[in-house]
Each structure stands twice: as structure tokens, then as C-alpha cells.
Amino acid sequence: MAETLAVIGGGVVGLNVALALQHEGFAVTIYDRDEATGAAHRGASHRNAGGFAFSDIFPLASPGIMARAPGWLLDPLGPLAIRPGHALALVPWLWRFWRATRPERYRAGVAAQTALMTHSQAALERQLQVIGGRELISAQGQLQVYEGAASFAASSAEWDLRREHGVAFDLLDSPEQIADIQPGLSPRFTHAGFTDGWINTIDPARWMAHLRAAFLRAGGEIAAAGVQAVKPGEADIILETTQGEHRGDRAVITAGAWSHRLTAGLGDRLPLETERGYNTTLPPGAFDLRTQLTFSEHGFVVSRIGEGLRVGGAVELGGLELAPNFRRSKALLQRAKRFMPALKTDGGAQWMGFRPTLPDSLPVIDHASATDRIVYAFGHGHLGLTQAAGTAEIVADLMLGRDPGLLMAPFRTARFG
């Protein structure tokens, strides 16, 4: 009989992990407390920007960010905000974040992120071959725009690093060149980097539905249950859930921004926070968008979602309990209107999502210290969609005692002491 495996959390990471372990012959059940609520998912995966951002190899914790942060923080609706009600709880995480900005740690972070990206890009291709879904992927590149030569020059080290790590791109230095790729932007954007190979899913919700259907088709089960605790048994694992106690052979914790609540019970105290992100999805006809647009200095992106488009981003360090501040979605939309004057901003639907994030911007992919029967996979921050297929293959390797083929130390729990 097949070994049973519980996946706790059915976001994009959980679904990918479930598929990968099902492929290895496990009888997999996903436990998700939002399963019963249908569309009202609290997780980050259903309404994100949809970018497979394989060229985004830079940890948020970067040299220089601490100098820029106070300026951003002065604007309560700017790209980075700390909610006063969460500020005190955030101090230990911020301290670790600051330490991760040291140049040598940053360089190591870029190398680790690049390795996971390379692995994830290949894993996505393998996944497409197994379960299909190519019709849900669009390849229109990504245009990252800058206002003036000085702000472009400030980003040149990042473009150099991308080149060093094998990312292909073109640099543009006039509004005319930019307009050839994306007409209709304000002429204040004079410089840009265009990453031709960038891909998006046409809609993260449809991507999730596709993964879920493939999992169910292959005999997977989804339980509408919240997991309150995961415990190692003698030769199995025990889940305490809102639907009673369940036993199984193995488990993977993929509960996004809530994962640390479960790992703490297993003796692994991890500094997981959430970078809350906001967006607005606009109906068809809002703008003739030709590529994904990234306004990095302003902390937001614009991507095509179905026939409409989605404007969003920003980072709000506000924990898991405080109510969303949708003035943030509105502020991003107003800014987008300034940058894309023909943008029609009516009829949008707002959303806030919890990015799960560790202070060094790298996920945890590791065994629980209490038992090899439990594996953790969470903390993908801005990149969970991008890294989910690669993470899932690594989890399968860890479960089966195989070498994942990349240096795992940067993703271990032990890096947090």
C-alpha cells in the first residue's frame, strides 16, 4: 500500500508539493482551512501578479535598503510601510533583516536565489510536460522602467549582476525605444531594462485551478480542515485538526505565512513574517498592456490578467491580524494612472495578500528538526508562484533521501540558529 502524506496548506507551494509527491507514489491529502470557503482564500496564491519571475534574483534585504527605507516609510501609502500596531512585534525580524543586508550575506543570497530560480525554471518545464497547462502561460516579457539617467545608473549594479548570472535582457535609454515595446507610458520614463524571456500565467487563479484539477484527477484528496498541531508519533505523524485527529506516514508544512505557528510546536521557532501586498484588478479595456510593467522605484507592477489587468505590489509589514488598509491599493492605482495616462481606473476589485517572508528573503526548505518524516517548504516571499515547482521537486528529494542537486544550506532552518 502507498505511504500516506499530508500537505498542510493548499496554496501554490502546497499544490506543487502535493503533485510532486503524488508523482513519487505517495497517497496525498491536502489540508486547507480555506477549502470550505471557495473563492475567499486567505492565502497569497490566487490573486498575485502572475509573474514567473526567474530573473528576480535579488533578496529584498540588500545593501543600501536601510538607507532608503526611512524615506519610503515617511510616506504612509508609499512602497514600504510598517503598521504601528505591529511595529514592536517586528523588531527581532527587522534586526535579522538588517544583518542580511551585509554585502557578503547579500552576495550569498543572490547565489542561492539564482540556484533556486534555475532549478525552478527547469522544474516548471518538466511540470508542463507532465500535467500540461501551456495555454495558461503567456510570454510577453517584462519591462522595468526608470525615471532619468541617475535612477537608472543607481540600478546598474543589479543589471550587471543579472548578466553575471546568465539573465538575458536589453537596456533602453529613450522614451521612443520604450514606446516600441509599450506605448502609452509617461515620457518621464527615459530608461528601461527589457527581459524578453520573462513569462506570466494568464491568471494565477486559473493556474491554481489547473494544478488542483491535475492533483484530484490523479486521486489526490483535499480536506477542508484547519491543522492546529503536527506531532511526530512513534513511526508516523499525528495531525490535530478542526475535524479531529488524523494519522499518516509523513507530512509537509506549506502553510504560507502561517507556517511558523505549526513549526513552533515541533520545536523550530522561525522568524517568519508577512509582507502584505495590495492590488486592484481592472476589467477588460483598462489599458493596452503589451508586457509586464515593473515600476521598481515605486514598488509596484502591472500585469495582464485574463482580458483585464492587475496593478499592485507594495510591502506592508503589518502581521497576520490587522485589517487591510485598501487606501494602499487606491494609492497604487492613482500612481499607475499618472504613469499610464490612458489607464481607465473604474470598476476595479481590490485585494490584499500575505506574502510569507523570512528576513533573508529566502524560503525554508528543510526537514523538521524533530523528525525526517516532516518537511517544511514556506517563506517564498514575492516569489512563491515562481519557485513552487522547483521547491516541490526539492521537497520530494528530501522526503526520499535523494540529493536535490543544489546547495541546501541557505534554505535550512539552522541558518536562524
Ligand X SMILES: Cc1cc2nc3c(=O)[nH]c(=O)nc-3n(C[C@H](O)[C@H](O)[C@H](O)COP(=O)(O)OP(=O)(O)OC[C@H]3O[C@@H](n4cnc5c(N)ncnc54)[C@H](O)[C@@H]3O)c2cc1C
Which amino acid is it at 149?
A
- For ligand X, the binding residue among 258, 287, 376, 411 (CB under 6 A) is 258
Binding piece for ligand X, criterion CB under 6 A, among 30-38, 115-123, 180-188, 327-335 = 30-38
Q: Which stretch binds ligand X (CB under 6 A): 85-93, 127-135, 183-191, 376-384?
A: 376-384
Q: With contacts defined by CB under 6 A, how many residues of the chain interact with ligand X? A: 45
Please select the residue that binds ligand X; options are 113, 254, 280, 361, rule is CB under 6 A: 254
| Residue 347, C-beta contacts closer than 8 angstroms, at least 6 positions apart | 282, 283
**For 108, phi and psi rounded to 5 degrees?**
-65, -35
Decide: 282 and 309 in contact? Cβ < 8 Å.
Answer: yes
Give min distance, CB of 314 to ligand X, in A: 8
Q: Distance (Å, rounded) from C-alpha 300 to C-alpha 313?
A: 4
378 binds ligand X (CB under 6 A): yes
Other Cβ atoms less than 10 A from the Cβ of 261: the count is 15
- Does 21 engage in binding with ligand X (CB under 6 A)? no
* Burial of residue 29, with CB atoms counted within 10 A of its CB: 0-12 exposed, 13-18 middle, 19 or more buried: buried
Residue 49 interacting with ligand X (CB under 6 A): yes
248 binds ligand X (CB under 6 A): no
Residues 18, 32 contacting (CB under 8 angstroms): no
- Pick from 415, 113, 93, 87: which is nearest to 268 by CA? 415
CB atoms within 10 A of CB 135: 9
Question: Pattern of binders to ligand X over 182-221, x per CB under 6 A?
Answer: ----------------------------------------
User: Does residue 141 bind ligand X (CB under 6 A)?
Assistant: no
Least Å distance, CB 382 to ligand X, is 5
Residue 96 or residue 355: which is nearer to ligand X going by CB?
355
Of 6, 7, 14, 304, the one binding ligand X by CB under 6 A: 14
Among residues 22, 28, 29, 33, the one that binds ligand X under rule CB under 6 A: 33
Query: Is 390 among the residues that bind ligand X (CB under 6 A)?
Result: no
| CA gap 287, 270 in Å, rounded | 42
What is the phi-psi region of residue 87: left when phi exceeds 0, alpha when psi lies from -120 to 50, beta otherwise? Answer: alpha
Binding site for ligand X (CB under 6 A): 8-14, 31-34, 41-45, 48-51, 53, 226-227, 254-258, 262, 277, 279, 312-313, 353-356, 378, 380-386
